[in-house]
């Protein structure tokens, strides 16, 4: 994980933009799992405002879930975003609990 990234305002802002484009349709605009596609998903999308997703100590877990997807769910792998954008998403997601 790039040093200082999780608390970087710039990284969180970039992550917020990527989240709105790629994630909000499933996870909701607030990251609470209430996206437009929620009803069709079993299990439903994760509420990213709650642990473990919202905790900086689980940042690597969140990174891997985005990069590799989550087996047994509708969460696909997002490797095409690249490491920097994925870490920016993690920075944004770990900031959701404090909103």
d(CA 61, CA 84): 16
Structural domain span for residue 63 = 5-98
d(CA 20, CA 60): 21
* Structural domains counted in the chain: 1
What pTM was computed for the model? Answer: 0.93
Q: What is the pLDDT along the chain (99 residues), one digit of tens a residue?
A: 787 899 999 999 999 999 999 999 999 999 999 999 988 899 999 999 999 998 889 999 999 999 999 999 999 999 999 999 999 999 999 999 866
CATH of the domain at 21: 1.10.760.10
Query: What per-residue string of b and e applies to 45-80 under the rule 16 or more CB within 10 Å gives b?
Result: bbbbbeeebbeeebbeebbebbbeeeeeeebeebee
CB 28, CB 38: distance < 8 Å: yes
Q: What phi and psi values does residue 93 have, to the nearest 5 degrees?
A: -60, -40
3-state secondary structure of 67: helix
């Amino acid at each position: 994980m790039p040093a200082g990234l999780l608390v970087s305002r710039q990284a969180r802002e970039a992550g917020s933009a990527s989240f709105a484009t790629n994630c909000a349709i499933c996870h909701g605009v607030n990251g609470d799992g209430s996206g437009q596609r929620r009803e069709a998903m079993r299990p439903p999308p994760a509420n990213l405002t709650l642990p473990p997703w919202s905790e900086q100590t689980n940042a690597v877990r969140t990174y891997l879930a985005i990069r590799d997807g989550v087996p047994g769910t509708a969460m696909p792998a997002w490797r095409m975003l690249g490491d920097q954008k994925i870490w920016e998403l993690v920075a944004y997601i770990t900031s959701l609990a404090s909103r």
